[in-house]
Structure 1
Amino acid sequence: MSAVKRHLAFASVERLSVQSLLLAFQRLFKSLLLPALGIVAFLILWSFTASSINTSLGEFPGPQAVLEQVQNLYQEHRIEREKEAAFYQRQEERNAKRLAEDPTYTAKVRAYTGKETFWDQIVTSLLTVMSGFLLAVAIAIPLGIAIGLSKKLNTAINPVIQVFKPVSPLAWLPLVTIVVSAVYVTPDPMFAKSFINSLVTVTLCCIWPMVINTSVGVASLNKDWVNVSKVLRLPALRHIKKIVLPASIPAIFTGMRMSLGIAWMVLIAAEMLAQNPGLGKFVWDEFQNGSSQSLSRIMTAVLVIGLIGFFLDRSMLQLQRLLSWDKSMELR
C-alpha cells in the first residue's frame, strides 16, 4: 500500500509540475510572444506598404531606411559633441595663454552655440513636457480636491471647465505667445520665450482631465470613511491626507495618465508653431527641408515620439502602483 501511495503522490506532484509549466508558458506567451508577433506583423506590413508608395521625395521609408537614419542621427550627435568638446578645449587653452601673458586678464567663457542634434531635441521636449505637466499637477490636483469636497464650488466652476476643456492647443498658442511676449520682458531671460510658450500651452491643455478625474474621485468617497473622519473630528488637512488622498489615488492617476498623454501630443504641435527646439521643430524643419532623407528622418521622429509616449505612460502606471494602497490592482 505504501508503494501505491508513493506512486500516487509522485503522479500528483508530476501533474502539478506540468500544470505550473503550462501556466508559466501561457503567461510568457501573453506577455512576450503575442506582443512580439504583433510587432513582427506590423514590420512586415509596413515594409510591403512602404515599397508601394512613391512620393515627390522618393519612396516612402520602410524599417530599413528608419534604422539607417537612427544610425545617421546618432553619428551626427557624436560629431557635434566632439565639436563642442574641441571648442571648450580651444577656449580653455586660449584663456590659459592670455592669463600667462597677463595675470590681470579676466578669462571669458563663452557657451557653445552649435546646432542642436536630434538627441538634444528629445531632451528638450522631455524637459518641456514634464515642466508643463508638473505645473498642471500643482494646479489641477488641489483644485480638483476642493471641487470634489464642495458641491457649491463644483457648481460654480464646472461650466468654466466644460467650456475650456475642448479648446485646441492651436487656439491657445497665439494667445499664449502674445501674453508671454508682453509679460516676459527681460534683457537676460533665464528661459527662451519659445520654451515658455510651449510649457504654458501644454499646461492649459492637460490641466482639465486631472481636475475632472480628481474631483470625481473625491466626490465619490465611501460615506462610511467620511463618517469615521467626522466622528474622529479630523482637521480638514488631516482629513484630506488620511482619507481623501488615499481613496482618490486611482481616479487622480487616471486623470494624470490622460493628461500626460495629451501633454505629449500637444507639445509636438506647439513646438512646430512656437519653434521651440524640440522634436516638433525637428519634424517641421525636415518637412520644410524636403531633401531625399526628410521622409525617413520624419518617420524616425514619429516612431521615437510614439515610444517616448509609451514609456511615459508605463512610468505613470508604475508610479501609481507604488503609491496606491491596493497593490493587487490590475494596471493596464
Structure 2
Amino acid sequence: MKQSVTVNKSAEAKWAEGIKNAISKFKIKLPRLDFATIFQKVIIPLISIISFIGVWYIGAEALRQREINFRIEKTLADQGQLAADQLKACFASGGTDCQTNTLPSPSQVWSSLQTLIQDHYVITKDKADFASKTASLNATRVAQGKDPIVYTGRPSFVDIVLTSLKTVFAGFLLALFIAVPIGIVIGLSEKLRSAFNWFIQIFKPVSPVVWYLLVFMIVKTLLIGTSTDNSFIISFISVGLCAMWATLVNTAVGVSTVDKDFINVAKVLKLGPLQKVFKVILPSSLPLIFTGLRITLSVAWMVLIAIELLAQSPGLGLFVWEEFQNGANDSNSKIIVAMFVIGIIGFLLDRFMLTIQNMVSFNKSDGI
C-alpha cells in the first residue's frame, strides 16, 4: 500500500514538473532594464533637451533686453524722457504695439505652432465649404468640357509641408533613377570611370542656386506656351540634379569594389550580364548604395528650401522667406517653427532610409 502511494506521488510530481516546464516555455521574457540603460537612453536625452530649452530661453531674453535697452536709449536721445518712459511702460506691459524683433522665446514659438495648427483647421473648413458651394457648378462646367473652379486661397502650414515632401520625394526618385544606373555602368568599367570622372568632379560641387537657374532656362523653353505650373517641375528637377551625386559616386565605388571571388563564381555559373548585375553585384553593393541614397535624401531636403524660395513653389522655403519679409509680431516665431519642422522631417527621412537599408541589406547599421 505504501509503495502504491509512493508511486502515485512520484507520478504526480513528474506530471506537475512537466506542466511547469510547458508553462515556462510560453512565458514572455521581458528585457531586463537596468538603471544604466535607462539613464543613458532616457534621462540623458531629457537633460540635454531641458538644457537646450533653458539656454535658448536665457539667450532669447538677453537679446530681447538688449534690443529694449537700445530702443529706449534711442528714444530718450531723440524724443526726450517722457517718450522713453512711455516706451518702457509699453515693453513692460507686453503689448503688441511694442514687440521686439529678435530671437523668440520657446513659449512664443509654441504659441505660433498652435496658431499654425488652428489656421490649418480654419483653412480646411473653408476648402470644404468652397467645395460644397461649387460642387453643382463644377459638375456643369466639367460636363461642358470646361475646367472646374478651384480653391485659390492661401494654403495652410500642413499643406505647405506636404508640398515640400512631394517635391523632395519627386526629386529623390529622379536622382535614384539617374544616379544608380549610371553608377552601375561606370562601376563596371574602369575606362568609363576615367572618362566620366572629370564630369562628376566638376558638377558635383555646383550650388543649388546654379542648378535651379540651369533647369529654369531649359524647362521654361520646353514648356513655353503651355499653362503647366512650372514651379513644381523646376523645383523637383533642380533638387534631383543637385542631390544625386552622392548616390552616383557611392554606387560606382560599391560596384567597382565587389569581391572578385563573387565575380568568379558568377562566371563559373555562366550568369548573363543582367543576372550578374542583379544577383551578384547589386546585393554586394547595397550597403554603399544605400549610404549614398541616405546622403542624397538629406541633401535633397536641405537644398529644397533654397530652390523653393527661388522657384516660388508654395513649400517651406517660400513660407520662411515670406514670413521674414512679412515682419509681423509672430513672424520670427513661425520661422523657428519651420526650422524645427524641417529638422524633424529631415531626421525622420534619414531613419526611413536606414530602416529600408537594414531590411534589404545583410550589413545592419544603427545610423549616426
TM, length-normalised to structure 2: 0.78
Change (3 A) 1:233 1:175: same
1:187 to 214, 217, 226: 226
**Once the 2 structures are TM-superposed, how far is the Cα of residue 182 of structure 1 from its aligned partner?**
0.6
Percentage of identical aligned residues: 44
Distance 2:186 2:323 in 1: 45
2:212 aligned with 1:173: yes
Aligned to 1:248: 285
Letter in 1 for 2:39: F
1:74 partnered with 2:113: no
Are the counterparts in 2 of residues 77 and 119 from structure 1 also a CA contact under 8 Å? yes
Q: How does 1:101-116 map to 2 (within 5 A)?
A: 109-116=148-155
Report if aligned partners of 1:57, 1:295 keep a CA contact under 8 Å in 2: no
What TM-score does the superposition give when structure 1 sets the normalisation length? 0.86
Verify: 1:43 aligned to 2:53, yes or no.
yes
Query: Which amino acid in the other structure matches residue 207 of structure 2?
Result: S
Q: CA deviation at 1:58?
A: 2.8
In structure 2, the partner of 1:90 is 133
Amino acid across the alignment from 2:318: K
CA distance in 2, matches of 1:277, 1:263: 17
Q: What are the superposed Cα offsets for residues 14-63 of structure 1, whole Å, 9 maximum, x if unpaired?
A: xxxxxx746x4433333333222221211111111111113695342121
Supply the distance in 1 between the matched residues of 2:350 and 2:145 (Cα, whole angstroms). 49
How far residue 171 of structure 1 moved from its aligned partner, in angstroms, is 1.6
Pairing of 1:5-44 with structure 2 (within 5 A): 21=32, 24-44=34-54
Q: Which residue of 2 aligns with 1:12?
A: none
Question: Which one of the candidate residues 227, 230, 235 is aligned to 1:198?
Answer: 235
Alpha-carbon distance in structure 2 between the residues aligned to 1:247 and 1:267: 32
Are the equivalent residues in 1 in contact too, given 2:63–2:102 (CA < 8 A)? yes
List alignment gaps of at least 5 residues for structure 2: 1-30, 68-98
Task: State whether residues 57 and 291 of structure 1, in contact with CA within 8 Å, keep that contact through their aligned partners in structure 2.
Answer: no
Aligned: 1:270 with 2:320: no
How many residues align? The count is 304
Please state whether the residue corresponding to 1:52 is helix, strand or coil: helix
1:53 corresponds to: 63
Higher relative contact order (CA 8 A, sep 6+): 1
> Which residue number corresponds to residue 155 of structure 1?
194
Q: CA deviation at 1:66?
A: 0.9
1:112 to partner: Cα distance: 1.2
Task: Report if the CA contact (8 A) 2:138-2:149 is conserved.
Answer: no
**In the alignment, is residue 143 of structure 1 matched against residue 179 of structure 2?**
no
- 1:290 is displaced (CA, Å) by 1.0
**C-alpha distance in 2, partners of 1:163/1:255?**
18
- Structure 1 runs (4+) greater than 4 angstroms displaced: 93-96, 104-108
Structure 1, unpaired ranges of 5+: 1-19
Q: Corresponding residue for 1:311?
A: 348
Partners in 2 of 1:204 and 1:241 — Cα distance?
25
1:25, 1:186 → 2: CA distance? 68
Query: Once the 2 structures are TM-superposed, how far is the Cα of residue 168 of structure 1 from its aligned partner?
Result: 0.5
The answer to whether the 8 Å contact 1:176/1:200 transfers is yes
